[in-house]
């Protein structure tokens, strides 16, 4: 499957809301909930505008993962960019019907090509101990596991910890 990543735009709001709403239950099985308010159209609109403002300031870059028809398959973000150290934090999610097809792996590869162009030297990521698929996506793209957090939290009746990863831009002198 051919995919692209495109920077989040104001025109994406309606399709993105639909994507998030349709995949809510699936996402909440793997990551902590965003809460009920997130799925109210008026709140989603405000949140979308704030993401665009954050992106315009260069604090974060938000991308949509799309197929050749322009349908949203997922999201991939580089957030909390520290300009002085050139470090960003990764986040991504792929819709339920597109998991297991290499979408996340391909999207992350595209994102890393983009961050190299932006001069980012390191990308940090974390996932939960039970999210083996996400761990594999990170490792296939050159992320190294740095630690498993010592704090446990409960999600969906399971006690979990965060697994931390880092990717280092080998083309930079860091």
Q: What is the pLDDT of residues 2-61, one digit of tens each?
A: 999 999 999 999 999 999 999 999 998 777 778 899 999 999 999 999 999 999 999 999
The structure's pTM equals 0.89
Pick the CATH number of 3-168 from 3.40.630.30, 3.40.50.1970, 1.10.540.10, 3.40.50.720: 3.40.630.30
pLDDT at 167: 98
pLDDT at 173: 54
CB contact at 8 A, 140 and 103: no
Give domain limits for the chain: 3-168
Give tens-digit pLDDT for 44-102. 999 999 999 999 999 999 999 999 999 999 999 999 999 999 999 999 999 999 999 99
pLDDT at 174: 47
- How many C-beta neighbours within 10 Å does residue 153 have? 12
Residue labelled with tokens 């989040």: 8
Structure tokens at 109: 């590869």
pLDDT at 29: 79
Structure tokens at 31: 């990551």
| Whole-number Å distance between alpha carbons of 36 and 34 | 7
pLDDT at 148 over 80: yes
């Amino acid at each position: 499957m051919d995919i692209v990543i495109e920077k989040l735009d104001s025109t994406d709001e309606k399709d993105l809301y639909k994507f998030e709403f349709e995949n809510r239950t699936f996402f909440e099985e793997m990551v902590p909930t965003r809460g009920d308010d997130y799925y109210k159209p008026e709140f989603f609109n405000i949140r979308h505008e704030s993401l665009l403002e954050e992106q315009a300031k260069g604090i974060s870059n938000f991308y949509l993962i799309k197929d050749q028809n322009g349908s949203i398959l997922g999201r991939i973000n580089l957030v909390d960019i520290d300009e002085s150290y050139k470090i960003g934090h990764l986040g991504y999610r792929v819709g339920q019907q597109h998991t297991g097809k290499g979408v996340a792996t391909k999207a992350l590869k595209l994102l890393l090509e983009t961050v190299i162009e932006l001069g980012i030297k390191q990308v940090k990521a974390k996932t939960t101990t039970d999210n083996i698929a996400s761990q594999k996506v990170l490792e296939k793209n050159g992320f190294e596991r740095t630690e498993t957090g010592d704090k446990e939290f409960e999600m969906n009746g399971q006690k979990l910890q965060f697994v931390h990863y880092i990717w280092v831009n080998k083309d930079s002198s860091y």
